[in-house]
Structure 1
């Protein structure tokens, strides 16, 4: 990443990227609140790196913290369950008790649950001869400046030294949001790969993509005005289980009625329809007699 940054600088380009450094620093007292929505608050701390002249922007997200904390708890629970199983086996007949073998099994457990294992100190106590393991004990010692001590914190790097914290963060979220929407369009709408060979058809394909993007952003703009700040993927997942169905009924005179309508909207879907000021029964009801 640093090599890429130097190439940008050499050609006079500006960049905002996610830092891959594992160490997480964040001082809440020095941080600035830039998003004040309950449960979704975001604070950022701007730091200048003297060696490179870069800006490091440490960001703390409540939503991200909740997600990472849940992941940490899950990993820790699985790791401790594995340790308990290994410890319990030392007092059971027919299980491995050889000290070296127990250490090997412990190593495999640590490798499997590496994200949790780094925050634990594990001790294997041998017997007097040193051949067998008597017990296994552990205690949680969280690694400093890690995800465990700073859940929800991530770092951005940039050479835009004259931008303030809010501008940097909102520009980055705009870029990631744009990338996310285009990924969605290219997968669900089949806008990629492009199989056209004629230039005018390729241009038409790209034009349709841009129209779709503008439609997505228009919908999201209207939803944000009603305090619905979900991502496009979340909106799609919310709406995808409402379907349009056709019911076929045969009359006594032999003719067939085709009745086409949408299924009833769920409460969350109704909220989105209301925010967009459109009917919760898109397409209405269509009745065809054949």
Structure 2
């Protein structure tokens, strides 16, 4: 604060500490107002408690008559409102896990421990960037009062440093926290969930070696990506996390993530279809793991007659058909979800309509004087149309009628011929594979859908 603004600052602090509303309010800048509010709050917090009344000091039992003060409601001001609820819950969880003592055991000093705890609580309450986190800590939350620390002057750079310190001790923190969670809740590490997601950078990130272009799950192919891998237990508590390059191949990350986890012999690994390659399944079997995965095969079939129906947590139903493989080493669980079928029908209908509309435009161009008739160019346009319609073209037979030279198209005809055992003929059907032969259909399905719990974890970490 420039020295010439000190008189305004002092006058505003005196106003805030005074017991009367000023006759002429001071007109100060926002910067002066923020500092005045901060210093006034510090002075109030540091002031000694009021002396006891004479009757209380002498131990007299004589009751003092109540005193009343008239207050004009319109004169009241709501100054510096702060949230405190989610902060209490977050700090209680940290205390149950003895998190601050864990940080201290890693040699992290008190100032940095406070910054780390503040950053983590802020990410739990209002996930965002370091800048958004700093604004929440200094301008929205009463976390500083709960931590008995002045966070109003917390520098932004310290939050960036806190992230660096956590990353440096990532392995030790993850192992210690999961061990304490296991002890606290009495968990047995018999099921391991593994999944991947990615997120994007707005900038170019030329200095980040892991920022790579790839397939974005948020459709941001224009941005460099990072891939996040999580290994969790069946209650979605994180056991291990890793950041891979944005163009990482999902199937090549499994061995690195599971190596050294210390899972008990025969632990079950649950994975999505992107990771369930033949090589990964063979590796799991060699390492003594059981597996439960989504089948990567595209063929679908389902028979409702022998299927059993179970209720889902959202009030819906799922039909299950359990089959043993020919070599009796795997169980195939075919599942049919009416809700999923409705969604897939809508998607297929939209892409089929788009494909037919594109063919209609090409056919209409043949009737115009300057319309495109070259067979080579029309083939190219149909190819682009197929690529943009996400598999809808496989359900159509397209015929091009040409002239005698076979270079000019005279007509375009198409017929919808749905491919057997596909999503169009069997909407809502998917297949699970497992080398756990003793489980019934319901237990296998309910174990696999625990993988969806990772979605909430991913969304929190991405934000």
User: Is the TM value for this pair above 0.5?
Assistant: yes
Cα deviation digits, residues 217-243 of structure 1 (max 9, x gap): xxxxxxxxxxxxxxxxxxxxxxxxxxx
The answer (yes or no) to whether the contact 1:39–1:62 under 8 Å persists in 2 is no
SS at match of 2:336: strand
- The superposition leaves residues 158-189 of structure 1 with CA deviations (integer Å, 9 ceiling, x where unpaired) of 11100000000011112x1331222133234x
| 1:185 and 2:460 aligned | yes
Deviation at 1:135, TM superposition (A): 0.8
Q: 2:363 aligns with which of 82, 87, 91?
A: 87
Alignment of 1:50 with 2:50, yes or no, is no
1:69 to 340, 345, 364: 345
Are 1:98 and 2:355 an aligned pair?
no
> What is the match of residue 155 of structure 1?
431
Q: State the 1:51 CA deviation.
A: 3.5
Q: Which has the larger radius of gyration?
A: 2
- Please, which runs of 5 or more residues in structure 1 have no aligned partner? 189-290
Contact kept, 8 Å, 1:24 with 1:146, in 2: the verdict is yes
Give the superposed CA RMSD.
1.9
Once the two structures are superposed, residues 98-156 of structure 1 have per-residue CA deviations (whole angstroms, 9 ceiling, x without a partner) of: 22322222222223224100000001111244332111111110011111111111111
User: Where is the strand percentage greater, Structure 1 or Structure 2?
Assistant: 1
Q: Corresponding residue for 2:299?
A: 23
Higher relative contact order (CA 8 A, sep 6+): 1
TM-score computed with the length of structure 1 as normaliser: 0.61
**2:285: which partner in 1?**
9
Distance between the aligned counterparts of 1:70 and 1:39, measured in 2?
Answer: 21
Alignment match of 1:40 (pick from 292, 297, 316) = 316
SS of match in other structure, 1:143: coil
State the TM-score, normalizing by the size of structure 2: 0.39
**CA distance 1:185–1:129, change in 2 (3 Å):** closer
Counterpart pick for 2:442 among 166, 173, 195: 166
Alignment of 1:126-141 (within 5 A): 126-141=402-417
Distance 1:15 1:129 in 2: 58
Gaps of 5+ in 2: 1-276
Structure 1 runs (4+) greater than 6 angstroms displaced:
36-39
